Amino acid sequence: MRVLGVDPGLTRCGLGVVDGLPSRQLAMVAVGVATSDALWDVDQRLLSIERQIEEWLEEHAPDAVAVERVFAQQNLRTVMGTAQVAGIAMVAAARRRIPVALHTPSEVKAAVTGNGRADKAQVQTMVQRLLRLDVLPRPADAADALALAVCHLWRPAGALGTPQRAPGSLTAAQRAWATAEQAARRRG
């Protein structure tokens, strides 16, 4: 299964493609960022990001797209841009009939590190280890996109579109992710 992870952002949108199957090593296919110029009008910035996401979808033909769920931050402008880019990624995938999943930052962190409150450096280090990369994936937006793809691939058995695993075969990080997902659902 091939997953495109999207860490939405208006200036830098992290993109990461990972291949994975149950009981198989994960493999990074591609990683990078879609960018837009902060001096452009927002409509032109969104158009630029959309075109770059479309290119990634065309080139890498993912089976699913995993997008970071937007959460409230202090800066309303940052939240708006992030939400707009997340929407663009979802529409681009929907246009191709590619399933889309949203994952919260704490779910992603728990999936790759076992700790839903891990910092960016810990996420980068674990992504490097999990994908057996020679260097840390940079920038952090790109590493976060890879982590989103890994999180999606490691969803618990029985989730829609999830590779099936034998009962009890979840890793500690996968169990932590499942717990974080359940807590997020309860909150709402």
Residues making up the annotated binding site for Mg(2+) are 7, 68, 141
The binding site comprises: 7, 68, 141
Nearest to 79 by CA among 71, 89, 67, 88: 71
Nearest-10 Cα torsion for 82, 84, 86, 90: 180
Which one from 19, 50, 68, 107 is the annotated catalytic residue? 68
Q: Which of 7, 19, 107, 181 is catalytic?
A: 7
What are the structure tokens assigned to 100, written together? 């889309």
Residue the block writes with tokens 């996401």: 53
Catalytic (active site) residue 19? no
- 63 with 2: CB under 8 angstroms? yes
Q: Choose the catalytic residue: 19, 50, 107, 141.
A: 141
Structural contact between residues 108 and 16, judged by C-beta atoms closer than 8 angstroms = no
- Is position 134 annotated as part of the catalytic site? no
68: annotated active-site residue: yes
Closest residue by Cα to residue 18 from 161, 133, 170, 123: 133
Q: Please check whether residue 33 is in contact with residue 39, taking contact to mean a CB–CB distance below 8 angstroms.
A: no
**Which residues have a catalytic role annotated?**
7, 68, 141
